[in-house]
Every structure is written in C-alpha cells, then in structure tokens.
Amino acid sequence: MVLIAALAALGVPALTGTAEASNGVPGVDVSNWTGEVDWSTVTSGGGKFAFVHATEGSDWTSPAFQSQYGGAAGAGLVRGAYHFALPNSSEGTQQAEHFLANGGAWVADGLTLPGVLDLEDNPYKDRNGLNTCYNLTPEQMVTWIKDFTTIYKRRTGRNAIIYTTTSWWRTCTGDSTKFRANPLWLARWGTEPGELPKGWTKHTFWQSADKGTLVGGQDSFNGTESQLKALANPPAEVNVGGTARGRKTFVLSLANTGPHPLTDIRVDGRAFGGKIAKAPKGCKFSGTAVRCLIPKINVGKKLNFVFLVKPKAAGSVGIRFTVGEVKVTLKA
C-alpha cells in the first residue's frame, strides 16, 4: 500500500490553576461554564485558536456551543469542537455519532480543526460510584476509544485529536501505543508539558492551565501559525495499492483516506509481459498502454478496478501504474 500524498446537566467540572504557555501558538478552550465570550479580547490578546465544548456522553449538548463556536469563527480564530467522553454510559460509536451530529463534524472551510475526544478522570465518582477509569479495564478502554475514533475518521476523513493527561492514559489504557495517528492535546498545568504518554513522541496541543490572561483554559499549539492552519485544512489524500490474481487479472485499489472528495483522478498504466485485453469503464487502452479518468471518490470510500492482460507464453507479467506522483507495480 502506498500513500499519496456544565453540571446543570452534564459538563466538565471547574478546575483550578494558573499558568502561561511558554511557547508555540497561543489559544484557549471554553465550555458552558465559561459563559459568553468576548472573542475580540482573545484575538487582541494574541489568541489564534479555540476549542469549544460541544457534547458529553450520548445525549448532552452544551447550550453555549453555537454562540461560542460561531463567535470564535466570526473573530477569525481557527476553532474546533470537543466531546467529553463518558465511556461507562454508552458505546464509543454512539458517542461519536452524537458528537458528529451536534457540532463535532469537520468541514473544509479553513477554520475548523479536527474534533477532540476528551479523556480524563471520572468527575462523577460520587454520583456513579465508578473509579477514575469508569470501571473499564485498559483493554476495554482501548476498544472504546478505537470505536469512537474509527467512526470519526470514517465520517470526516480526519483523525480525532485526543485530549488526556499522561497519568490517566497510563492508568486507564495501559499506556496504549495504538493511537499514534491521532494528534495529542496534552493536559498538564505548569511551565512545561513534561513526559508524554508512550504512544506519542510529541504533543500537538498543550493545556498549561485552566485560566490566565486569556478567557478559558490556556493552550498552545506546538508549531507555527501556518502549520496550525494546515491542520485545519490539510490536502487531499489517497491510498494506492492492488493485487495480482494470477497471470491475467490485476486489481488496482484507490482509497480516499483524506478529508476531501477526490475528483478527476488520472491513472496511467503500462503492461509488461503481455498486452491489455480489458479495462474498466472510463479507461481507454491500446496494446500495452491504458489510461483512466476516475470522476470522483468520496471521503472514506475505496474503489477497485480490474484489468485483464493477455500474457505471453512465459516470463513475468504485470502492469505498472502511475497515479499522480505515485507509482505502483502489480506483478504476477
């Protein structure tokens, strides 16, 4: 496989601590507890992005989300939504769907960051009698997270950001390394991010305090402002691969694993050890050459294209394909 390119209902409990992010691009995170936000003070104070609490569990939505989320965008901030996970209350797939339907869906407008899965200590221990990890084993927690992130990726083409602390991740997932592809938003109040969970070699965002000079939680992006904008609006992406089924049949696979629909995809192929005998609809072939134009592949979709070759009596046989800048050879 080749790669181209609020507690009135439910809410995050109030926390304490003050610090300033020491480097990176500054930003904030807000919730229903924050209330009405004067976003102009965030931008005038140097803030460049915001995360807004959208949902929790499988049925709660923040009453402040729409005004906060829209206000951040109106002020020109790059913004994203976050979901506070309650792994004990329903399946990861169900909570992902709730999040996606209530503000968490990514859109390609240049201002929207991937959605966030907020994983932290159970704040309702006195209410539900469960431990820090919601009484899930590490294996069960990893499965729950996988279910949530898989649905999010399938529906948006983006890897959800994971917000957590190093101690919670170690205790509740066994320091799982299965989510390296998901950007890490590390929560650690202080002047340095400190040690990371085992699965990551760097953090993408860091929450250094719940209050400071800007409204809400104090955060920073570990990179430049242009890199932050690129995270909000990444390029299209397609996986190219395939297989040979004997000496006559070759299957080229194209999967849209990115966040944008793919259109007008050109595929060029050249057979060796024989001539092209049949090609899919949308392809033209003559002798050993074939050229195809694929109108569209939607996000999360995979298409297979079958080519038949009339091989010579002996010797290797196959097709060399070029898709964009990627070359792949299918050989019997």
Tokens 């192929």, located at residue: 269
Catalytic residue at 120? yes
Instruction: Indicate which residue of 56, 97, 120, 219 is catalytic.
Output: 120
The Cα–Cα gap between 315 and 195 comes to 56
Contact indicator for 183, 164 with CB cutoff of 8 Å: no
Is there a catalytic annotation at residue 20?
Answer: no
Catalytic annotation present for 118: yes
- The set of residues, in sequence order, having a beta carbon less than 8 Å from that of 166 and lying 6+ positions away, is 186, 188, 194, 195, 196, 197
Active site residue: 29, 56, 97, 219, which one? 29
The single residue of 56, 97, 118, 210 carrying the catalytic annotation is: 118
Residues involved in catalysis = 29, 118, 120
